Protein backbone atom coordinates (compact mmCIF):
# COMPACT_ATOMS: atom_id res chain seq x y z
CA UNK A 1 0.00 0.00 0.00
CA UNK A 2 1.38 3.42 -0.95
CA UNK A 3 1.91 6.15 1.60
CA UNK A 4 -0.77 8.21 -0.15
CA UNK A 5 -3.29 5.49 0.67
CA UNK A 6 -1.97 4.51 4.09
CA UNK A 7 -2.14 8.05 5.40
CA UNK A 8 -5.94 7.80 5.42
CA UNK A 9 -5.67 4.64 7.54
CA UNK A 10 -3.68 6.73 10.00
CA UNK A 11 -6.53 9.26 10.02
CA UNK A 12 -9.18 6.58 10.54
CA UNK A 13 -7.22 4.92 13.33
CA UNK A 14 -6.62 8.27 14.98
CA UNK A 15 -10.29 9.18 14.86
CA UNK A 16 -11.42 5.91 16.47
CA UNK A 17 -8.64 6.01 19.07
CA UNK A 18 -9.56 9.58 19.98
CA UNK A 19 -13.27 8.76 20.17
CA UNK A 20 -12.82 5.83 22.57
CA UNK A 21 -10.09 7.40 24.70
CA UNK A 22 -11.71 10.82 25.09
CA UNK A 23 -15.07 9.12 25.57
CA UNK A 24 -13.69 7.18 28.53
CA UNK A 25 -12.57 10.45 30.12
CA UNK A 26 -15.77 12.40 29.50
CA UNK A 27 -18.06 9.60 30.68
CA UNK A 28 -17.52 10.80 34.26
CA UNK A 29 -20.77 12.84 34.43
CA UNK A 30 -22.71 9.63 33.78
CA UNK A 31 -21.07 7.97 36.78
CA UNK A 32 -21.38 10.81 39.31
CA UNK A 33 -24.86 10.05 40.66
CA UNK A 34 -24.51 6.23 40.82
CA UNK A 35 -21.15 6.52 42.58
CA UNK A 36 -22.41 9.18 45.01
CA UNK A 37 -25.51 7.17 45.89
CA UNK A 38 -23.56 3.95 46.39
CA UNK A 39 -20.60 5.33 48.32
CA UNK A 40 -21.86 8.49 49.99
CA UNK A 41 -19.00 10.48 48.47
CA UNK A 42 -19.82 14.09 47.62
CA UNK A 43 -20.58 14.99 44.03
CA UNK A 44 -18.11 17.84 44.32
CA UNK A 45 -15.37 15.43 45.35
CA UNK A 46 -16.14 13.03 42.50
CA UNK A 47 -16.33 15.88 39.97
CA UNK A 48 -12.99 17.24 41.20
CA UNK A 49 -11.37 14.21 39.58
CA UNK A 50 -12.05 15.85 36.19
CA UNK A 51 -10.22 19.03 37.15
CA UNK A 52 -7.27 16.95 38.39
CA UNK A 53 -7.35 15.06 35.09
CA UNK A 54 -7.08 18.27 33.05
CA UNK A 55 -4.13 19.45 35.14
CA UNK A 56 -2.42 16.09 34.71
CA UNK A 57 -3.10 16.21 30.98
CA UNK A 58 -1.38 19.59 30.88
CA UNK A 59 1.80 18.16 32.37
CA UNK A 60 1.60 14.93 30.42
CA UNK A 61 1.04 16.55 27.03
CA UNK A 62 4.59 17.84 26.82
CA UNK A 63 6.10 14.62 28.21
CA UNK A 64 4.21 12.26 25.91
CA UNK A 65 4.82 14.60 22.97
CA UNK A 66 8.57 14.50 23.51
CA UNK A 67 8.46 10.71 23.88
CA UNK A 68 6.56 10.38 20.60
CA UNK A 69 9.26 12.42 18.84
CA UNK A 70 11.86 10.02 20.18
CA UNK A 71 10.16 6.63 20.07
CA UNK A 72 7.35 7.15 17.59
CA UNK A 73 3.55 7.30 17.99
CA UNK A 74 2.98 3.54 18.16
CA UNK A 75 4.91 3.02 21.39
CA UNK A 76 3.41 6.08 23.06
CA UNK A 77 -0.22 5.40 22.10
CA UNK A 78 0.16 1.73 23.06
CA UNK A 79 1.49 2.75 26.47
CA UNK A 80 -1.41 5.17 26.91
CA UNK A 81 -3.92 2.49 25.91
CA UNK A 82 -2.55 0.03 28.46
CA UNK A 83 -2.47 2.62 31.26
CA UNK A 84 -6.00 3.78 30.46
CA UNK A 85 -7.45 0.25 30.37
CA UNK A 86 -5.81 -0.79 33.63
CA UNK A 87 -6.84 2.47 35.29
CA UNK A 88 -10.48 2.05 34.28
CA UNK A 89 -10.45 -1.41 35.81
CA UNK A 90 -8.75 0.05 38.89
CA UNK A 91 -11.64 2.49 39.35
CA UNK A 92 -13.97 -0.45 39.83
CA UNK A 93 -11.93 -1.59 42.84
CA UNK A 94 -11.48 1.67 44.76
CA UNK A 95 -12.84 2.01 48.29
CA UNK A 96 -12.09 5.68 48.98
CA UNK A 97 -12.69 9.02 47.28
CA UNK A 98 -8.97 9.83 47.44
CA UNK A 99 -8.14 6.65 45.55
CA UNK A 100 -10.81 7.43 42.94
CA UNK A 101 -9.44 10.94 42.44
CA UNK A 102 -5.87 9.66 42.20
CA UNK A 103 -6.63 6.97 39.62
CA UNK A 104 -9.02 9.07 37.57
CA UNK A 105 -7.23 12.39 37.89
CA UNK A 106 -3.61 11.28 37.68
CA UNK A 107 -3.53 7.99 35.77
CA UNK A 108 -6.47 8.41 33.40
CA UNK A 109 -5.79 12.13 32.96
CA UNK A 110 -2.14 11.38 32.28
CA UNK A 111 -2.94 8.63 29.80
CA UNK A 112 -5.16 11.02 27.81
CA UNK A 113 -2.14 13.11 26.94
CA UNK A 114 -0.60 10.06 25.23
CA UNK A 115 -3.30 10.19 22.56
CA UNK A 116 -3.85 13.80 21.49
CA UNK A 117 -0.42 15.31 20.81
CA UNK A 118 1.20 12.16 19.35
CA UNK A 119 -1.78 11.51 17.06
CA UNK A 120 -1.98 15.09 15.82
CA UNK A 121 1.78 15.25 15.30
CA UNK A 122 1.72 12.00 13.32
CA UNK A 123 -1.16 13.05 11.07
CA UNK A 124 0.38 16.43 10.26
CA UNK A 125 3.56 14.62 9.20
CA UNK A 126 1.75 12.26 6.83
CA UNK A 127 0.01 15.05 4.91
CA UNK A 128 1.46 17.76 2.69
CA UNK A 129 -1.90 18.35 0.99
CA UNK A 130 -5.33 18.32 2.67
CA UNK A 131 -3.53 18.62 6.00
CA UNK A 132 -6.20 20.74 7.69
CA UNK A 133 -8.93 18.33 6.58
CA UNK A 134 -6.97 15.31 7.84
CA UNK A 135 -6.36 16.85 11.26
CA UNK A 136 -10.00 17.92 11.44
CA UNK A 137 -11.17 14.38 10.67
CA UNK A 138 -9.12 13.02 13.58
CA UNK A 139 -10.53 15.77 15.77
CA UNK A 140 -14.03 14.89 14.55
CA UNK A 141 -13.48 11.35 15.76
CA UNK A 142 -12.67 12.75 19.18
CA UNK A 143 -15.79 14.87 18.96
CA UNK A 144 -17.89 11.71 18.52
CA UNK A 145 -17.11 10.70 22.11
CA UNK A 146 -20.14 12.42 23.71
CA UNK A 147 -22.56 10.70 21.31
CA UNK A 148 -20.95 7.23 21.50
CA UNK A 149 -19.08 6.43 24.69
CA UNK A 150 -21.27 8.48 27.05
CA UNK A 151 -24.52 6.81 25.89
CA UNK A 152 -22.75 3.45 26.13
CA UNK A 153 -21.75 4.22 29.71
CA UNK A 154 -25.32 5.26 30.51
CA UNK A 155 -26.66 2.02 29.02
CA UNK A 156 -24.19 -0.07 31.03
CA UNK A 157 -25.10 1.69 34.27
CA UNK A 158 -28.78 1.10 33.55
CA UNK A 159 -28.10 -2.65 33.42
CA UNK A 160 -25.18 -3.03 35.84
CA UNK A 161 -23.71 -1.32 38.89
CA UNK A 162 -21.06 1.35 38.35
CA UNK A 163 -18.16 -0.95 39.27
CA UNK A 164 -19.13 -3.58 36.71
CA UNK A 165 -19.70 -0.85 34.14
CA UNK A 166 -16.14 0.42 34.62
CA UNK A 167 -14.80 -3.12 34.16
CA UNK A 168 -16.70 -3.54 30.89
CA UNK A 169 -15.50 -0.18 29.59
CA UNK A 170 -11.94 -1.14 30.52
CA UNK A 171 -12.20 -4.29 28.40
CA UNK A 172 -13.72 -2.34 25.49
CA UNK A 173 -10.93 0.24 25.68
CA UNK A 174 -8.26 -2.46 25.61
CA UNK A 175 -9.86 -4.37 22.74
CA UNK A 176 -10.16 -1.24 20.59
CA UNK A 177 -7.14 0.88 21.49
CA UNK A 178 -4.37 -1.71 21.73
CA UNK A 179 -4.85 -3.24 18.25
CA UNK A 180 -5.35 0.16 16.60
CA UNK A 181 -2.13 1.49 18.11
CA UNK A 182 -0.19 -1.02 15.99
CA UNK A 183 -1.51 0.66 12.83
CA UNK A 184 0.32 3.88 13.68
CA UNK A 185 3.59 4.59 11.89
CA UNK A 186 6.05 7.43 11.80
CA UNK A 187 5.63 9.79 8.81
CA UNK A 188 7.59 8.46 5.80
CA UNK A 189 9.89 11.50 5.78
CA UNK A 190 11.12 10.68 9.29
CA UNK A 191 11.52 6.98 8.52
CA UNK A 192 13.59 7.87 5.45
CA UNK A 193 15.72 10.19 7.54
CA UNK A 194 15.12 13.15 5.26
CA UNK A 195 17.21 16.14 6.33
CA UNK A 196 14.47 18.52 5.24
CA UNK A 197 11.10 16.75 5.05
CA UNK A 198 8.52 18.24 2.70
CA UNK A 199 6.50 20.83 4.53
CA UNK A 200 9.25 21.94 6.90
CA UNK A 201 9.47 25.72 7.05
CA UNK A 202 12.34 27.03 4.87
CA UNK A 203 15.61 27.39 6.74
CA UNK A 204 14.24 26.01 10.05
CA UNK A 205 15.42 22.40 9.70
CA UNK A 206 18.37 23.02 12.06
CA UNK A 207 16.21 24.63 14.76
CA UNK A 208 16.72 23.17 18.23
CA UNK A 209 13.86 22.24 20.53
CA UNK A 210 14.97 24.86 23.05
CA UNK A 211 14.88 27.60 20.43
CA UNK A 212 11.47 26.41 19.23
CA UNK A 213 9.91 26.38 22.71
CA UNK A 214 11.17 29.89 23.49
CA UNK A 215 10.28 31.36 20.10
CA UNK A 216 7.60 33.99 19.58
CA UNK A 217 5.47 31.79 17.26
CA UNK A 218 5.31 28.99 19.84
CA UNK A 219 4.55 31.34 22.75
CA UNK A 220 1.80 33.05 20.77
CA UNK A 221 0.26 29.69 19.79
CA UNK A 222 0.37 28.44 23.38
CA UNK A 223 -1.13 31.61 24.85
CA UNK A 224 -3.83 31.67 22.18
CA UNK A 225 -4.73 28.06 22.93
CA UNK A 226 -4.90 28.77 26.67
CA UNK A 227 -7.30 31.70 26.30
CA UNK A 228 -9.26 29.89 23.58
CA UNK A 229 -9.87 26.88 25.86
CA UNK A 230 -10.53 29.10 28.86
CA UNK A 231 -13.20 30.82 26.75
CA UNK A 232 -15.21 27.69 25.98
CA UNK A 233 -14.50 25.50 29.02
CA UNK A 234 -16.87 27.40 31.32
CA UNK A 235 -19.79 27.42 28.87
CA UNK A 236 -19.25 23.74 28.05
CA UNK A 237 -19.40 22.68 31.70
CA UNK A 238 -22.06 25.05 33.04
CA UNK A 239 -24.52 25.88 30.26
CA UNK A 240 -26.84 22.97 31.08
CA UNK A 241 -27.03 24.14 34.70
CA UNK A 242 -27.54 27.73 33.51
CA UNK A 243 -30.40 26.64 31.23
CA UNK A 244 -32.04 24.81 34.13
CA UNK A 245 -31.77 27.97 36.23
CA UNK A 246 -33.62 29.76 33.41
CA UNK A 247 -36.57 27.41 33.87
CA UNK A 248 -35.79 24.86 31.14
CA UNK A 249 -36.49 21.25 32.30
CA UNK A 250 -33.37 19.23 33.09
CA UNK A 251 -33.89 16.55 30.42
CA UNK A 252 -34.49 19.23 27.80
CA UNK A 253 -31.51 21.28 28.94
CA UNK A 254 -29.21 18.33 28.27
CA UNK A 255 -30.17 18.48 24.59
CA UNK A 256 -28.47 21.89 24.38
CA UNK A 257 -25.16 20.12 24.94
CA UNK A 258 -26.11 17.63 22.21
CA UNK A 259 -26.80 20.45 19.75
CA UNK A 260 -23.45 21.97 20.61
CA UNK A 261 -21.71 18.63 20.03
CA UNK A 262 -23.39 17.96 16.69
CA UNK A 263 -22.59 21.48 15.50
CA UNK A 264 -19.01 20.87 16.57
CA UNK A 265 -18.78 17.88 14.25
CA UNK A 266 -19.78 20.09 11.32
CA UNK A 267 -17.40 22.80 12.52
CA UNK A 268 -14.38 20.51 12.57
CA UNK A 269 -15.00 19.38 9.00
CA UNK A 270 -16.00 22.81 7.72
CA UNK A 271 -13.01 24.58 9.20
CA UNK A 272 -10.71 21.85 7.90
CA UNK A 273 -11.89 22.29 4.31
CA UNK A 274 -11.81 26.10 4.52
CA UNK A 275 -8.37 26.19 6.17
CA UNK A 276 -6.89 24.15 3.31
CA UNK A 277 -8.21 26.80 0.93
CA UNK A 278 -7.78 30.08 2.83
CA UNK A 279 -5.08 29.27 5.38
CA UNK A 280 -5.17 28.09 8.99
CA UNK A 281 -4.27 31.43 10.55
CA UNK A 282 -7.11 33.35 8.88
CA UNK A 283 -9.66 30.72 9.93
CA UNK A 284 -8.28 30.64 13.47
CA UNK A 285 -8.43 34.41 13.92
CA UNK A 286 -11.96 34.67 12.51
CA UNK A 287 -13.08 31.64 14.51
CA UNK A 288 -11.74 33.04 17.79
CA UNK A 289 -13.57 36.32 17.29
CA UNK A 290 -16.86 34.56 16.54
CA UNK A 291 -16.29 32.23 19.50
CA UNK A 292 -16.02 35.22 21.83
CA UNK A 293 -19.37 36.61 20.70
CA UNK A 294 -20.85 33.11 20.82
CA UNK A 295 -19.92 32.84 24.49
CA UNK A 296 -21.49 36.23 25.11
CA UNK A 297 -24.62 35.07 23.31
CA UNK A 298 -25.39 32.67 26.16
CA UNK A 299 -25.70 35.67 28.48
CA UNK A 300 -28.73 36.84 26.48
CA UNK A 301 -30.27 33.36 26.03
CA UNK A 302 -33.26 32.65 28.28
CA UNK A 303 -35.53 30.36 26.26
CA UNK A 304 -34.87 27.04 24.52
CA UNK A 305 -34.83 28.44 20.99
CA UNK A 306 -32.20 31.01 21.93
CA UNK A 307 -30.10 28.37 23.68
CA UNK A 308 -30.25 26.10 20.63
CA UNK A 309 -29.23 28.94 18.31
CA UNK A 310 -26.26 29.99 20.42
CA UNK A 311 -25.21 26.37 21.02
CA UNK A 312 -25.17 25.66 17.28
CA UNK A 313 -22.98 28.69 16.55
CA UNK A 314 -20.74 28.27 19.57
CA UNK A 315 -20.22 24.54 19.05
CA UNK A 316 -19.51 24.97 15.34
CA UNK A 317 -16.85 27.60 15.93
CA UNK A 318 -15.01 26.43 19.03
CA UNK A 319 -14.74 22.86 17.74
CA UNK A 320 -13.65 24.08 14.32
CA UNK A 321 -10.79 26.18 15.65
CA UNK A 322 -9.18 23.49 17.82
CA UNK A 323 -7.49 21.39 15.07
CA UNK A 324 -5.93 24.51 13.53
CA UNK A 325 -3.26 24.80 16.23
CA UNK A 326 -1.70 21.54 15.04
CA UNK A 327 -1.79 22.74 11.43
CA UNK A 328 -0.05 26.01 12.31
CA UNK A 329 2.53 24.10 14.33
CA UNK A 330 3.37 21.90 11.34
CA UNK A 331 3.60 24.89 9.02
CA UNK A 332 6.11 26.67 11.27
CA UNK A 333 8.24 24.03 13.01
CA UNK A 334 10.30 21.02 11.86
CA UNK A 335 8.51 17.68 11.63
CA UNK A 336 10.98 15.95 13.96
CA UNK A 337 9.74 17.97 16.95
CA UNK A 338 6.00 17.99 16.18
CA UNK A 339 5.12 15.91 19.24
CA UNK A 340 6.88 18.35 21.52
CA UNK A 341 5.41 21.46 19.90
CA UNK A 342 1.84 20.17 19.73
CA UNK A 343 2.25 18.74 23.22
CA UNK A 344 3.28 22.16 24.44
CA UNK A 345 0.28 23.91 22.92
CA UNK A 346 -1.98 21.12 24.21
CA UNK A 347 -0.54 21.66 27.69
CA UNK A 348 -1.60 25.30 27.53
CA UNK A 349 -5.03 24.29 26.27
CA UNK A 350 -5.52 21.77 29.09
CA UNK A 351 -4.68 24.44 31.64
CA UNK A 352 -7.27 26.67 30.01
CA UNK A 353 -9.86 23.88 30.15
CA UNK A 354 -9.16 23.38 33.85
CA UNK A 355 -10.26 26.94 34.62
CA UNK A 356 -13.87 26.60 33.47
CA UNK A 357 -15.38 24.16 36.00
CA UNK A 358 -13.86 25.90 39.03
CA UNK A 359 -14.31 29.48 37.82
CA UNK A 360 -17.93 28.95 36.81
CA UNK A 361 -18.76 27.31 40.13
CA UNK A 362 -17.06 30.14 42.03
CA UNK A 363 -19.04 32.77 40.12
CA UNK A 364 -22.33 31.02 40.81
CA UNK A 365 -21.54 30.55 44.50
CA UNK A 366 -20.71 34.23 44.93
CA UNK A 367 -23.31 35.83 42.67
CA UNK A 368 -26.16 33.34 42.59
CA UNK A 369 -26.19 33.14 38.78
CA UNK A 370 -23.94 32.37 35.82
CA UNK A 371 -24.14 35.72 34.06
CA UNK A 372 -20.62 36.88 34.82
CA UNK A 373 -19.21 33.57 33.59
CA UNK A 374 -20.28 34.38 30.03
CA UNK A 375 -19.09 37.97 30.26
CA UNK A 376 -15.71 36.73 31.49
CA UNK A 377 -15.64 34.12 28.71
CA UNK A 378 -16.31 36.88 26.20
CA UNK A 379 -13.34 38.82 27.59
CA UNK A 380 -11.05 35.78 27.40
CA UNK A 381 -12.28 35.11 23.88
CA UNK A 382 -11.32 38.63 22.81
CA UNK A 383 -7.95 38.05 24.45
CA UNK A 384 -7.45 34.88 22.39
CA UNK A 385 -8.41 36.77 19.22
CA UNK A 386 -5.98 39.63 19.91
CA UNK A 387 -3.12 37.28 20.79
CA UNK A 388 -3.71 35.24 17.63
CA UNK A 389 -3.43 38.45 15.60
CA UNK A 390 0.17 38.68 16.82
CA UNK A 391 1.13 35.34 15.28
CA UNK A 392 3.86 35.67 12.67
CA UNK A 393 5.69 32.81 10.91
CA UNK A 394 9.44 32.62 11.18
CA UNK A 395 11.03 34.86 8.54
CA UNK A 396 12.48 32.82 5.70
CA UNK A 397 16.28 33.11 5.38
CA UNK A 398 17.52 35.34 2.57
CA UNK A 399 19.00 32.40 0.68
CA UNK A 400 15.67 30.63 0.73
CA UNK A 401 13.89 33.69 -0.62
CA UNK A 402 16.44 33.98 -3.43
CA UNK A 403 15.98 30.33 -4.36
CA UNK A 404 12.19 30.78 -4.43
CA UNK A 405 12.61 33.83 -6.65
CA UNK A 406 14.70 31.96 -9.18
CA UNK A 407 12.57 28.82 -9.17
Least confident range of 112-121, 186-195, 368-377: 186-195
- Residue 77 in this model has a pLDDT that exceeds 70: yes
Q: What is the mean pLDDT of the chain?
A: 87
pLDDT score of 400: 47
The pLDDT of residue 284: 95
Which pLDDT belongs to residue 204? 64
- Does the pLDDT value for residue 406 go beyond 60? no
What pLDDT is attached to residue 99? 96
Identify whether residues 241 and 274 lie together within a single domain.
yes
Q: Is there a domain that residue 306 lies in? A: yes
Instruction: Assess contact for 93 and 33: CB atoms under 8 A.
Output: no
Look up the domain containing 221 and give its range.
208-391
Q: Give the lowest-confidence range in 9-13, 37-41, 145-149, 375-379.
A: 145-149
Residue 313: alpha-carbon gap to chain centroid? 19
Confidence of residue 404 (pLDDT cuts 50, 70, 90): very low
Closest CA to 131 of 338, 330, 377, 370: 330
> Does some domain include residue 31?
yes
In a domain, 405, yes or no: no
For residue 397, is it within any domain? no
Do residues 137 and 282 share a domain? no
Kindly report the CATH number assigned to the domain that includes residue 254. 1.20.1250.20
Domain count, the chain: 2
How high is the pLDDT of residue 96?
95
Residues 172 and 314 in one domain: no
Q: How confident is the model at residue 102, as a pLDDT?
A: 95
**Domain-located, residue 402:** no
Residue 286: pLDDT band with limits 50, 70, 90: very high
The pLDDT assigned to 44 comes to 76
Residues 159 and 249 occupy one common structural domain: no
pLDDT at 52 over 70: yes
Q: For residue 404, tell me if it sits in a domain.
A: no
* Residue 199 lies inside a defined structural domain of this protein: no
If you average pLDDT over residues 55-61, what whole number do you get?
89
| Whether the Cβ atoms of residue 128 and residue 199 lie closer than 8 Å to each other | yes
Question: How confident is residue 201, by pLDDT bands cut at 50, 70 and 90?
Answer: low
Are 162 and 258 in the same domain? no
Can you list the pairs that 281-285 forms with residues at least 24 positions away whose Cβ atoms lie under 8 Å?
281/324, 281/328, 281/388, 281/391, 283/320, 283/321, 283/324, 284/224, 284/321, 284/324, 284/325, 284/328, 284/388, 285/385, 285/388, 285/389
Give pLDDT, residue 383.
Answer: 97
- Mean pLDDT of the region 24-40: 85
| Residue 288 near residue 311 (C-beta atoms within 8 A) | no
Between 197 and 134, whose confidence is greater? Answer: 134
- At 131 the pLDDT is 85
Say if residue 254 is in the same domain as residue 375.
yes
Quick one: what percent of the chain has pLDDT higher than 70? 92
Residues 104 and 221 grouped into a single domain: no
The pLDDT of residue 195 is 53
How much is the pLDDT for 128? 81
216 and 99 housed in the same domain: no
**52 and 117, same domain (yes or no):** yes
Given this model, what pLDDT does residue 196 score?
A: 56
3-state secondary structure the chain: CCHHHHHHHHHHHHHHHHHHHHHHHCCHHHHHHHHHHHHCCCHHHHHHHHHHHHHHHHHHHHHHHHHHHHHCHHHHHHHHHHHHHHHHHHHCCCCCHHHHHHHHHHHHHHHHHHHHHHHHHHHHHHCCCCHHHHHHHHHHHHHCHHHHHHHHHHHHHHHCCHHHHHHHHHHHHHHHHHHHHCCCCCCHHHHCCCCCCCCCCCCCCCCCHHHHHCCHHHHHHHHHHHHHHHHHHHHHHHHHHHHHHCCCCHHHHHHHHHHHHHHHHHHHHHHHHHHHHHCHHHHHHHHHHHHHHHHHHHHCCCCHHHHHHHHHHHHHHHHHHCCHHHHHHHHHCCHHHHHHHHHHHHHHHHHHHHHHHHHHHHHHHHHCCCHHHHHHHHHHHHHHHHHHHCCCCCCCCHHHHHHHHHC
Residue 133: exposure state from Cβ atoms within 10 A (0-12, 13-18, ≥19): buried
**42 plus 115 within the same structural domain:** yes
306 plus 179 within the same structural domain: no
**Among the three residues 186, 220, 248, which one is the final residue of a domain in this structure?**
186
In this predicted structure, what is the pLDDT of residue 391? 92
- Same domain, yes or no, for 173 and 243? no
Answer yes or no: is pLDDT of 141 > 70.
Answer: yes
Q: In this predicted structure, what is the pLDDT of residue 364?
A: 82
How much is the pLDDT for 1? 63
pLDDT band (50, 70, 90) for residue 200 = low
pLDDT for residue 203 is more than 80: no
Tell me, yes or no, whether 407 lies in a domain. no
Residue 375 burial (CB < 10 Å; 0-12/13-18/19+)? middle
Amino acid sequence: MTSQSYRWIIVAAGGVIGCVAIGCLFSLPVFIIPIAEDTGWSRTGISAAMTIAFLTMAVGSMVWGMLSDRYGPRAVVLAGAIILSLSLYGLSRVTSLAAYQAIYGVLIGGSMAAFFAPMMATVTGWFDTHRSLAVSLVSAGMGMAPVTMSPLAAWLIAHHDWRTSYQIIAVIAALVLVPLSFLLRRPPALVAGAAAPAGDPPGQQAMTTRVALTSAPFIVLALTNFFCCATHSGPIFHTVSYAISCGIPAMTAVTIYSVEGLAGMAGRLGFGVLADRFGAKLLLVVGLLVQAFGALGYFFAHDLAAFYSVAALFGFVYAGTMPLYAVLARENFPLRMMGTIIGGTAMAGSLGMATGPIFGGWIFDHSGNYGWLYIASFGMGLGAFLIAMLFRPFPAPLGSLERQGTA
